[in-house]
Amino acid sequence: MKSVVTRSSSVVALFLAFTQIAVRAEEPVDSLGVLERTLNKPGLTTISVVKTNAGRELHYCPDNTCDVFKAPTAAPPRALADFAFAYIFYASGYTYLEDFVTRTGRAHSEVILNRNRSGCKQGHELELASCVLRHLARQYSIRVFQVREDEGASTETAVDLQAALSVNALKRTRAWQLEQWHGHP
């Protein structure tokens, strides 16, 4: 009788473990939350959200430069956060992103791409990323700016999303990052 109870307990425990994994897999990914948890470090906030008269901005500032993502008020906050997540993951090119790209963000990137893939064909990861980013930018009027702080002056330059989000540009960015990471363990 004891072995039946032990086996039953093991089966129930295994069932509960699989149920928890399945439930977690179905939970929606909070792209802004993931960015904040994985990219903000103690004493250094690199991800911030700013509300403006024109809409909402999400800033990624790992040093004296920033990627600034801007969307009008009408754009859903999740669309801007998903765009920023995918852009930072696939197009940003900062060398600081090694852990995010290779570990902490990897599992979430696929979920974010898949939930925004409307109208995008099946293809390899960078083709899907390019399509999703272009679609989100178009649908929600999202713009990207590179901001540089230098000696008290701030310079803001618009990113040409057509060029920056091409599959070839994403491939070049990732190849450069991998080369940098490989050379600096």
Q: According to the model, what pLDDT value does residue 8 have?
A: 47
Phi, psi of 169 (to 5 degrees): -65, -40
pLDDT at 20 over 80: no
Determine the Cα–Cα distance for residues 39 and 58; give it in Å rounded to an integer.
Answer: 13
Which of 67-71, 119-123, 133-137 is predicted with the least confidence, judged by mean pLDDT? 119-123
Determine the Cα–Cα distance for residues 161 and 165; give it in Å rounded to an integer.
Answer: 6
- List the 47-51 sheet strands across, edge first: 47-51, 55-60, 65-72, 143-150, 153-158
pLDDT at 77 over 60: yes
Q: How confident is the model at residue 162 (pLDDT cuts 50, 70, 90)?
A: very high
Are 94 and 178 a contacting pair, CB within 8 Å?
Answer: no
Kindly report the pTM of this predicted structure: 0.82
User: Rg of the Cα trace of the chain?
Assistant: 20
Q: According to the model, what pLDDT value does residue 5 have?
A: 47
Q: How confident is the model at residue 27 (pLDDT cuts 50, 70, 90)?
A: low
Q: According to the model, what pLDDT value does residue 38 have?
A: 93
83: enclosing H helix or E strand:
helix 77-90
Are 47 and 69 a contacting pair, CB within 8 Å?
Answer: no
Q: According to the model, what pLDDT value does residue 184 have?
A: 56
